[in-house]
Structure 1
Amino acid sequence: MQKPAYGEVIRGGAPILVATPHTGVIVPADLKAHETWKPIDGRLSDPAGVALLAAARERDVTTIAAAVHPCVIDFNVALDSRPLSQRLNRTGLCRTHTSRGEALYAPGFEPSEADVEARVEHYWRPFHAALTAELLRLREMHGNVLLLTSHASSWLSPYRTHSGTTDCNAGTHQGASCDRRLVSALTEAVQGLGRSWVVNGKLADVFAAQRYGMPANGIHVIEVEVAGRWRNDFESPEHGNDGEMRDVLDALSRALDSMPPADARFDAFLVADRPAA
């Protein structure tokens, strides 16, 4: 069966869903026809997400992985997060510049609203429809499920800074998207690996946590960005990091197992159609 344009779903039975919206490396043929896009094809933005996918598949954890490069369309940006001018869109839904500040389009040829909407229909909506469907499937099986989203938003921004960056940045929509026990399990696991961490710093109001987090209904969301020295390790071919991601998943699994089933009524409509806060 042909894979969907946005990427790939591999179903598991564990109560965790790993989504990696920024692991895609493919640039569509129509964009590769432009010289500025050719160096982007195959350029990986989220190496930690690739390691997380590998660890998840060893643990019977469902994964949804992007195939298309996040500069083409960013699956972790809300549809209403479009700038007033597409020419200034360096960090939104369809970027006009790479993480290195390279212009992806000639002046005056940035994607129009129609171009953006076409990418939304072809990639973004199917990605989130699959994510919603898998959350619903897993919630039918378990009293609590966790959506763990790995991304590289800061790395993709041409305005990023490297000095003093924390190794692990976690976002929970200011604590509203998940049970505190899951956050503790994550941070303790990360600290046990000798990595620094911060919760609800620069990832305080990230999209997936706002859109999908409903802990009272048994759907918990944590977003994670690996940065700093930890990201450098993931980029080193000599350094194996799948084991670290296995430790993180195992800690989260134990925390989920210790939690009582959610009591609140579960309504699929809330997940599928409610807008981000």
Structure 2
Amino acid sequence: MMTATYTLIKGSVPLLISMPHNGQALPDDIAKTMTEQGRAVVDTDWYKDRLYDFANALGAYIIIPHYNRYVIDLNRDPNGVDLYPGADNTELCPTTAFNLAPLYLDGMNPDITEQQRRVKTYWQPYHQALAQTLDEIKAHYGQAVLLEAHSIKSAVPRFFDGKLPDFNFGNANGNSCSAALIAAITQLDFSPYSQVVNGRFKGGYITRAYGKPDENVHALQLELSQSTYMDEETLQYDEELAQQVKPKLKQLVECLIAFSQNKEVS
């Protein structure tokens, strides 16, 4: 199902994969207020749909927005509450890139009225679809699993020191999914890639808001280092690198599906 702001692909197993930062589009009325850096949308979670192109064949539901995170960040609280208090956070409607370059021309930052318009136009439809789909999955199968599929450059000094591990799992410090699920994930063989759980990235707004393991809805975020599948300087997809990491992602998705169906994880 394709709408004006997102695409929802129906599945046949109790797993929904959300890619809230995959969209690249900018509405014309917003793009004309932005800097060249802003229009380049360099902080996109690049090629997530391409990396997970196997997932629907495995039965997963998939939801992907059309518009870029620079328009509005679908993984932020609509009330503007910081994800990581005391740390550097990007806003609901970002005004600077990850490298702190301005995204808008002088005097063109979105004001409160414009931010509220974007919440209504772009944020709410995605979250309504996310919530309804999880409800439908749970009603049909008895439980639902949500994978928040993200990626980021391996080095972003604004947010963390040094180089990021390859696979960064977050479950809100154990609050968004069952201990059994995170245990199953950590027992998988991700070598030669490095991995961490609840390191710098513990799960964003979606993981925290929708993960309710006591109600049989389990949410997990994966922040994948972009160095595992693309050239981080040219922002080009690297087929050779991608073909090496995709089996690990498929293994992860298969594990989540097995858990969602109450099957033993192999």
TM-score, reference length from structure 2? 0.83
Rounded Cα–Cα distance in structure 2 between residues aligned with 1:205 and 1:46: 15
8 Å contact 1:13–1:138 — kept in the other structure? Answer: no
8 Å contact 1:32–1:38 — kept in the other structure? Answer: no
Task: Compute the RMSD of aligned alpha carbons.
Answer: 2.9
Seq. identity, %: 25
Q: 1:162 to 1:187 in 2, by over 3 A?
A: same
| 1:69, distance to aligned residue in structure 2 (A) | 0.7
Instruction: Give the equivalent residue in structure 2 for 1:11.
Output: 10
Q: How many residues align?
A: 253
Answer with 14-23 or 41-50: which moved more: 41-50
Amino acid at match of 1:238: E
Instruction: Give the equivalent residue in structure 1 for 2:168.
Output: 169
Rounded Cα–Cα distance in structure 2 between residues aligned with 1:128 and 1:64: 10
Instruction: From the two aligned structures, give the one with the greater helix fraction.
Output: 1
Contiguous gaps of at least 5 residues in structure 1? 84-88, 261-277
1:225 aligns with 2:229: no
8 Å contact 2:145–2:217 — kept in the other structure? Answer: yes
Amino acid at match of 1:159: R
1:1-277 correspondence to structure 2 within 5 Å: 3-34=2-33, 36-37=35-36, 40-41=39-40, 43=42, 45-47=44-46, 49-81=48-80, 91-152=90-151, 159-161=158-160, 163-189=162-188, 191-204=189-202, 206-227=204-225, 229-230=227-228, 232=230, 235-239=237-241, 240=243, 241-258=245-262
Answer with 73-82 or 147-156: which moved more: 147-156
| 1:210, distance to aligned residue in structure 2 (A) | 1.8
Rounded Cα–Cα distance in structure 2 between residues aligned with 1:157 and 1:103: 16
Q: 1:104 to 1:76 in 2, by over 3 A?
A: same
8 Å contact 2:166–2:224 — kept in the other structure? Answer: yes
Rounded Cα–Cα distance in structure 1 between residues aligned with 2:138 and 2:23: 27
* Deviation sequence 1:229-250 (CA, Å, 0-9, x none): 4255794233224333211111
Contiguous gaps of at least 5 residues in structure 2? 83-87
* Deviation sequence 1:192-234 (CA, Å, 0-9, x none): 3422111112223521122111112110000110026425579
Q: 1:75 to 1:224 in 2, by over 3 A?
A: same
